[in-house]
Amino acid sequence: MSLGPVQHPESVVAVYSGGIDSTVMLYAMRERGIDIRGAISFDYGQKHRKEIDVAAKVCEQLAIEHQIADLRAISGLFGHSGLVDRESVVPEGHYEEESMKSTVVPNRNMILISLATAWAITKDAQGVAYAAHSGDHAIYPDCRESFAAALDQAIQQCDWTSVRLYRPFVESSKSEILAEGARLKAPLGEAWSCYKGGDLHCGRCGTCIERREAFFLAGVEDPTVYQADAPELETLVNAGWRLTT
């Protein structure tokens, strides 16, 4: 699997959510000998705090310094997102559906990458790595290459030290990332996707369906333990990965 479009940096600080994409990114960078000087997770009041616990655990296993940036005090700035507003309901169904747009935290990646850039400068790292992939592009403008290229330009000029934005998966699909993760023996079953905040993956929200679809398309057995009432894989396939509930 090629990692592009930016040349590999020698050292990075990684934006690390604890999800599949960023977990595989850590493993892929380690395999390529990139010095991961730190991984940073963000608590912006999301319902799915379990991903932060997963991130801490994986970093401990990989002996990577982990920081959790607590943004809860300013989560009011993020508006009525289904991820941060506890009064709203996380929509079910496939990402492509209009309803999933309510899961967007406005300008999320610029906020996260900006803070990670500060830490990268502090750690004297050459780059900030984040795991946006091609499947994110339709719904999240701040996962698109045009945005990443602009931010790459900006963070090269924000300090006397030039930091680059490394986005190794920006041209990869979720299933390609997953296949890479299986090859690297990344803990795919532990990496967290669900937006609903339960102890187990619900198996029916947008990210759970995207996750299940990616395992299916990659031909990788899904090790995830889903809630007992999660729809059967066959039901999802027959429904074209869209739920009507």
Binding site for Zn ion (CB under 5 A): 194, 196, 202, 205, 208
Task: State the minimum distance, in angstroms, from the CB of residue 162 to Zn ion.
Answer: 39
Task: State the minimum distance, in angstroms, from the CB of residue 198 to Zn ion.
Answer: 8
Closer to Zn ion at the Cβ: 126 or 207?
207
| Cβ–Cβ < 8 Å for 38, 145 | no
Instruction: Kindly list the distances between the CA atom of residue 8 and the CA atoms of 102, 117, 228, in Å, as whole numbers in the listed order.
Output: 34, 17, 42
- For every residue of 189-226, DSSP letters joined together read TTS---SS--SSB-S-BHHHHHHHHHHHHHT------B
Closest among 220, 218, 224, 194 to 17, alpha carbons compared: 194
Phi, then psi, of 188 in degrees rounded to 5: -65, -35
Angstrom distance (rounded) from CA 112 to CA 115:
5
Angstrom distance (rounded) from CA 100 to CA 160:
40
Closer to Zn ion at the Cβ: 37 or 196?
196
Angstrom distance (rounded) from CA 35 to CA 168:
15
Task: State the minimum distance, in angstroms, from the CB of residue 134 to Zn ion.
Answer: 22
Task: State the minimum distance, in angstroms, from the CB of residue 106 to Zn ion.
Answer: 22
Closer to Zn ion at the Cβ: 39 or 205?
205
- For every residue of 59-120, DSSP letters joined together read HHHHT--EEEEE-GGGGGGG-S-TTT-TTS-PPBS-TTSGGGGGGPPTTHHHHHHHHHHHHH
Task: State the minimum distance, in angstroms, from the CB of residue 157 to Zn ion.
Answer: 39
Total residues belonging to the chain: 245
Angstrom distance (rounded) from CA 12 to CA 111:
17
Task: State the minimum distance, in angstroms, from the CB of residue 62 to Zn ion.
Answer: 25
Closer to Zn ion at the Cβ: 132 or 230?
230
Task: State the minimum distance, in angstroms, from the CB of residue 148 to Zn ion.
Answer: 27
